[in-house]
Amino acid sequence: MNQQEIKQRFEIIGNSPLLNLALETASKVAATDITVLINGESGVGKEAFSKIIHALSNRKHGPFIAVNCGAIPEGTIDSELFGHEKGSFTGAHETRKGYFETVSGGTIFLDEIGELPLETQARLLRILESGEFIKVGSSKVQKTDVRIVAATNRDLMELSYKGKFREDLYYRLSTVPIKVPPLRERKEDIHLLFRKFSVDFAEKYRSKPVVLEPEAQHLIQNYSWPGNIRQLKNIAEQLSVLDEDKIVSGAELARVLPAEKPGLPIFIGSNPPEQQFSERDIFYKVLYDLRKDLSDLKSIVFDMMQGNQSNFTADLVTNFQKNFTREESLSTELKPNFVNIPTQVVNANTNSQIIDITENNIEPESLSLEEKEIELIRKSLKKHNGKRKKAAQELGISERTLYRKIKQYDIE
């Protein structure tokens, strides 16, 4: 079955290269029994991909079940997945089969797998490794033949660094990862999807399909769509019900679109920004500004010398110190060491002392970014006796980032 036939059969709308890549990967892996991990934001249609994998597999005549791991209470999820024996806990009035037993020979789709408790993760790992499981309250080992397709909208590797997800389970699940792109990364498909939903709702409510004016089309394509396809479908239904003439202008569409989150503006224009500032760019800017401030300080000092003012007051020095030790809030991961004005300046009584201080004692530190990063990481690790978690918290970075930089710079 080619890609176009897959789209028609499963009502997949769009021609985005990222979407086509995800469909191609799903169709190739479907014929195997390999475990698949589907990554994507909420509302992008991850369950549709799990159904495609099942329908194109050798298990297509077997059962398929979708389980939302985040919707099942922690106290009952083991019973739901693996079953339980009569009397194994309060309320267990009879023996019950779990999903892994009832779906044997088919496919089970575990949505939001990042929400699984650690104890349940250990049970799931055993099924992936040997196909064995034990019911709650039982000591009998049972076998199952189930293909697992998992999905998540969270970074499982990041969760593993925080101790909330088993790293060995992550590697077992992600044999073949599939990334389903969010709507904002497939803008060329947004209007196609909207038209499809408009036609569907026109049939449902026996009305004319909603049509977007050019301004509204531009707005709908440049909106961030945090709820992705689910949110777009809701907007299409809302307009189908509320708009009388079924011709929507940009102003009318703007009234029904939720406001963008602060700090995440949409880009409205012909060309999107080509790049964003990296942490190194921000760090370099901070150091550059510091050097500029030091040069300004020297100029002030020499101006005062020419004006025959040989003494600095404590208040003036305090003001300089505040300027030089203020914390720049430009980077959340790196904070440079700002230079403080030496206390000798307070007691400087001669021009020669002033010259010595400004020219020799207040020199900009090295502007090598790697040296700065290495120095800060080593200091923090030494301070916390090599405990990476505490060192990462002090540096304002994730433990994963710290681990990567330690390997990058070969820090012992």
At 244-279, the pLDDT tens digits run 888 999 999 999 999 876 544 444 443 444 444 455
Question: Whose structure tokens read 């490794």?
Answer: 129
Q: In angstroms, rounded to a whole number, what is the distance separating the alpha carbons of residues 75 and 188?
A: 44
Give the pLDDT mean for 363-372: 64
Give the residue among 100, 93, 156 at the shortest CA–CA distance from 124: 100
What is the model's pLDDT at position 281? 58
Burial status of residue 264 (CB atoms within 10 A of its CB: 0-12, 13-18, 19 or more): exposed
Residue 325 has pLDDT above 70, yes or no: no
Alpha-carbon distance 43 to 230, whole Å?
5
Task: Say what the pTM is.
Answer: 0.62
For residue 309, which phi and psi values (nearest 5 degrees)? -105, 110
Helix, coil or strand: residue 194: helix
Give helix then strand counts, H and E, for the chain: 18, 9
Cα gap 87→73, rounded to integer Å: 19
Give residue 331's pLDDT band: very low, low, confident or very high (50, 70, 90): very low
pLDDT at 333: 43
* Choice between 275 and 146, residue whose per-residue pLDDT is larger: 146
Distance of CA 283 to the CA centre of its chain: 23
Give the rounded distance of the alpha carbon of 327 from its chain centre.
Answer: 27
CB atoms within 10 A of CB 90: 6
Residue 103 in contact with residue 146, Cβ under 8 Å? yes
Position 378 scores a pLDDT of 87
**The residue type at 83:** G
* Amino acid at position 109, single letter: F
**328 has pLDDT over 50:** no
- Six token digits for residue 384: 């916390």
Query: Which one, of 317, 333, 313, lies nearest residue 325 by Cα?
Result: 317
Measured between its terminal Cα atoms, the distance across the chain in Å is: 53
For the stretch 117-135, pLDDT in tens is: 999 999 999 999 999 999 9
pLDDT at 355: 40
Residue 366 pLDDT level (bands cut at 50, 70, 90) = low
Q: Is the pLDDT of residue 38 over 50?
A: yes
| Helix (H) / strand (E) containing 305 | helix 279-306
Domains, the chain, with CATH or none: 3-181 (3.40.50.300), 184-256 (1.10.8.60), 279-361 (no CATH), 369-409 (1.10.10)
Structure tokens of 236? 């299409």
Report the C-alpha gap between 156 and 63 in whole angstroms. 27
pLDDT band at 319 (very low <50, low <70, confident <90, very high): low
Six-digit token pair at 344? 């000798």
Please write the tens of the pLDDT for every residue from 169-222. 999 998 999 999 999 999 999 999 999 999 999 999 999 999 999 999 999 999
Burial of 255 (0-12, 13-18, 19+ CB in 10 A): exposed
Please list, in sequence order, all residues whose beta carbon lies within 8 angstroms of the beta carbon of residue 131, skipping any fewer than 6 positions away. Answer: 143, 144, 145, 146
Q: What are the CA-CA distances from residue 18 to residues 44, 90, 151, 251 (Å)?
A: 12, 49, 17, 31
Partners of 141 in the β-ladder: 134
